[in-house]
């Protein structure tokens, strides 16, 4: 039997604002399905995965109803490991697994068999090692369904390709049914054969879920075509109605005029006009009833809308940064050399992307670049680190954050931008710490736009945006006339940059 998981009439509603995430949703996941769960930030994707794995996991913040029918064993890879697990030695992480199963799983994922006996803390592993360790552990239990929440976070390019092949192989062999959330548009495009799209409509007062058994590119193409087609039909119905009503009004006004001007000496003509007016009024009522049958204009949750001002630019010949480091070391550990002979020169409006394996020192180098740029008066630099808590106060609201940096008349403009970035009033006035990673990324992005920053130092800028919003962000950055120095594993973003540099032990090299 291929069927592995079924949702029957599932509804999820947030307790804090009674916002519906799902309403009477039913869905079947089969072995061989590689289903990508997509949607904008805060639409409930992670909540749905938690609910499927364990209904009680969302009780603290969600009202729920409906049934999850599990026709096999379910394994869940969370978006983040908890603090206790991160502190745990690798050997303890695998302690409750049968050794021969662990050895086979590690071999499948390209890790040495001795990896499971390591005394290193889980927190010291690279992003790729950590994902592989988690996957190896969960498949030792012979699951039928894999729920993967953001497995691409912190993965280098090689591990992304490995994960892509793992999902494709699992789908072809029908080994597992996979439901995954990711912000990597390329991964969704290359692996998914089912799309589950969660949306929040009418200022997040109504939810909708669309299931399409096709590839992502087919879904997006079909969605755009259907939206335009339905919009055209709805508009034509209204245009035709307006023309018909205009003709009707002329007839009504003519008959009404004739009634008011007819002589009392012509009672027969008066009766005919009264009868004619009755017919005209009946026709008008029939037209109004027809209008009730018109197609509604289609609704959809659009991707974020924003762009940088034209004034955010750097003269072509200006030298933005010139860096020469004999050694790049881990902060606070001078003996931990990450790279030697690191040399970097960036000028004018160049867009430079730095890539490399996990642990190569990319974020360390970017933080060092930011230190040299942040106090410069000749450029207006902004920084988006991977850890947003270093630049955002999680205890204040997005509105309060913006109020600290902008004049009163600019706050109104900032609120308008927040609305364009799909923030509700509730989200604008909630602590930043309560927002999703994607919403925090939107706030930082908006900050850079409003500041008119002309030099952007970005560490994985697209990692928290949805597959629908990522192209919008990438396009805005591509059109940006200033200078970008970024670290990224996003293949689409990398392709959009002018220069790509690989960081390894021997420094930076043009790719």
pLDDT tens-digit readout, 57-81: 999 999 999 999 998 899 999 988 8
Place of tokens 């755009």: 224
213: Cα separation from own chain's centroid = 20
Average pLDDT over all residues of the chain: 86
The pLDDT, as a whole number, for residue 91 is 92
Are 133 and 90 a contacting pair, CB within 8 Å?
Answer: yes
Quote the CA–CA distance of 376 and 386 in Å, as a whole number: 22
CATH number of 319-510: 3.40.50.300
User: pLDDT band at 296, cuts 50/70/90?
Assistant: low
Candidate from 27-41, 66-80, 390-404 with smallest mean pLDDT: 390-404
Which architecture does CATH list for 3-219? 3-Layer(aba) Sandwich (3.40)
The answer to whether the beta carbons of residues 166 and 158 sit under 8 Å apart is: no
Q: How high is the pLDDT of residue 470?
A: 85
Could you give the CA distance from residue 265 to residue 285 in angstroms, rounded to a whole number? Answer: 32
CA 289/CA 268 separation, integer angstroms: 32
Q: If DSSP codes are grouped into helix, strand and coil, which group holds residue 90?
A: helix
Q: Which DSSP state fits 328? A: E
Confidence category of residue 481, pLDDT binned at 50, 70, 90: very high
Residue 229 pLDDT exceeds 70: no
How far is it, in rounded angstroms, from Cα 215 to Cα 510? Answer: 34
Calculate helix-pair angle for 437-451, 398-405, nearest 10 degrees. 20
Out of 125-134, 289-298, 352-361, the most confident range is 352-361
Helices (H), 348-407: 362-373, 398-405
> What per-residue confidence (pLDDT) applies to 179?
96
Nearest 5 degrees, angle CA 325-CA 359-CA 49? 145
Asked if 144 and 176 touch (Cβ cutoff 8 Å), the reply is yes
Q: Helix (H, G, I), strand (E, B), or coil: what is residue 288?
A: helix
The tokens for 192 are 């998914």
Q: What is the pLDDT of residue 380?
A: 93
Q: Is the per-residue pLDDT at 89 higher than 60?
A: yes
CA 474 to CA 176: how far, in whole Å?
33
Nearest CA to 151 out of 161, 142, 139, 160 is that of 160
Q: Could you tell me the pLDDT band of residue 449, with boundaries at 50, 70 and 90?
A: confident
Query: DSSP characters for 35-59?
Result: EEEE--TTSSHHHHHHHHH-GGGGT
* Cα separation, 147 vs 135, whole angstroms: 11
- The H-assigned helical ranges of 125-156 are 127-139
Q: Mean pLDDT over residues 104-110, rounded?
A: 84
Does the pTM of the predicted model rise above 0.85? no
pLDDT for res 238: 81
| pLDDT average, residue stretch 232-254 | 83
Rounded to the nearest angstrom, the gap between the alpha carbon of residue 142 and the centroid of all alpha carbons in its chain is 31
**β-strands 3-14, 20-30 pairing:** antiparallel
**Which SS3 state, helix, strand or coil, does residue 381 take?**
strand
Instruction: Measure the CA–CA gap between 357 and 508, rounded to whole angstroms.
Output: 13
The pLDDT score that the predictor gives to residue 409 is 65
Q: Could you tell me the pLDDT band of residue 299, with boundaries at 50, 70 and 90?
A: low
Least confident of 5-14, 64-73, 232-241, 410-419: 410-419
C-beta of residue 301 within 8 angstroms of C-beta of residue 201: yes
Write out pLDDT tens, residues 175-222: 899 999 998 889 999 999 999 999 887 667 788 899 999 999 999 898
Give residue 407's pLDDT: 65
Tally of CA atoms within 13 A in the half-sphere of 433 that contains its CB? 6
Report the distance separating Cα 373 and Cα 366, nearest Å: 11
pLDDT of res. 106: 87
**Which residues sit opposite 3 in a β-bridge?**
30
Q: Which of 393, 502, 386, 383 is nearest to 453 (CA)?
A: 383
Q: How many residues does the chain have?
A: 511
Parallel, antiparallel, or unpaired for β 194-201 and 34-38?
Answer: parallel
Of 477, 236, 278, 427, whose CA–CA distance to 485 is shortest? 477
The per-residue pLDDT for 331 is 62
Q: Which residues contact residue 461 at a Cβ distance below 8 angstroms, ignoring those fewer than 6 apart?
A: 384, 441, 445, 473, 477, 486, 488, 493
pLDDT tens-digit readout, 339-392: 899 999 999 899 999 999 877 889 889 999 999 999 999 999 999 998 888 889
The per-residue pLDDT for 211 is: 96
Q: Are 40 and 200 in contact (CB under 8 A)?
A: yes
Q: How far apart are CA 425 and CA 417, in angstroms?
A: 12
């Amino acid at each position: 039997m291929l069927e592995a998981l079924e949702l029957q009439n599932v509804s999820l509603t947030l307790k804090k604002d009674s916002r519906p995430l799902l309403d009477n949703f039913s869905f079947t996941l089969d072995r061989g399905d590689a289903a990508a769960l997509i949607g904008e930030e805060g639409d409930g994707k992670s909540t749905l995965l938690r609910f499927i794995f364990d209904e009680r996991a969302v009780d603290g913040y969600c009202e729920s109803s409906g049934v999850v029918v599990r026709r096999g064993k379910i394994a869940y890879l969370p978006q983040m490991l908890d603090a206790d697990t991160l502190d745990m030695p690798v050997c303890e992480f695998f302690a409750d697994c049968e050794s021969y199963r662990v050895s086979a799983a590690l071999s499948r994922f390209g890790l040495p068999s001795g990896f499971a006996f390591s005394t290193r803390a889980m927190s010291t592993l690279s992003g790729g090692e950590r994902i592989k360790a988690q996957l190896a552990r969960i498949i030792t239990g012979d699951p039928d369904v894999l729920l993967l929440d953001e497995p691409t976070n912190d993965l280098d390019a090689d591990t992304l390709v490995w994960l892509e092949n793992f999902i494709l192989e699992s789908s072809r062999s029908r080994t597992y049914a996979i439901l995954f959330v990711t912000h990597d548009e390329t991964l969704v495009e290359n692996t998914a054969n089912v799309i589950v799209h969660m949306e929040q409509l009418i200022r997040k007062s109504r939810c909708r879920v669309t299931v399409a058994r096709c590839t992502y590119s087919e879904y997006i193409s079909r969605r755009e075509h259907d939206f335009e087609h339905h919009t055209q039909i709805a508009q034509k119905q209204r245009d035709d109605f307006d023309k018909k009503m205009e003709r009707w009004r002329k007839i009504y006004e003519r008959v009404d005029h004739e009634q008011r001007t007819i002589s009392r000496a012509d009672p027969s003509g008066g009766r005919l006009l009264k009868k004619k007016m009755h017919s005209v009024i009946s026709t008008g009522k029939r037209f109004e009833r027809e209008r009730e049958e018109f197609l509604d204009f289609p609704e959809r949750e659009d991707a974020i809308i924003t762009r940088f001002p034209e004034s955010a630019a750097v003269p072509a010949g200006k030298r933005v940064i010139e860096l020469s480091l004999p050694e790049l070391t881990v902060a606070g550990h001078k003996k931990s050399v990450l790279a030697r002979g690191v040399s970097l020169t960036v000028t004018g409006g160049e867009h430079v992307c730095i890539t490399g394996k996990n642990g190569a020192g990319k974020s360390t180098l970017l933080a060092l670049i930011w230190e040299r740029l942040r106090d410069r008066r000749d450029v207006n630099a902004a920084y988006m680190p991977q850890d947003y808590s270093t630049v955002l106060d999680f205890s204040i609201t997005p509105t309060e954050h913006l109020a600290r940096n902008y004049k009163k008349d600019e706050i109104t403009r900032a609120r308008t931008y927040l609305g364009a970035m799909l923030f509700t009033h509730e989200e604008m006035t909630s602590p930043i710490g309560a927002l999703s990673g994607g919403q925090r990324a939107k706030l930082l992005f908006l900050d850079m736009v409003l500041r008119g920053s002309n030099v952007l130092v970005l560490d994985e800028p697209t990692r928290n945006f949805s597959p629908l919003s990522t192209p919008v962000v990438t396009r805005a950055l591509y059109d940006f006339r200033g200078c970008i120095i970024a670290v990224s594993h996003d293949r689409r973003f990398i392709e959009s940059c002018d220069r790509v540099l690989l960081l390894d032990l021997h420094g930076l090299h043009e790719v």
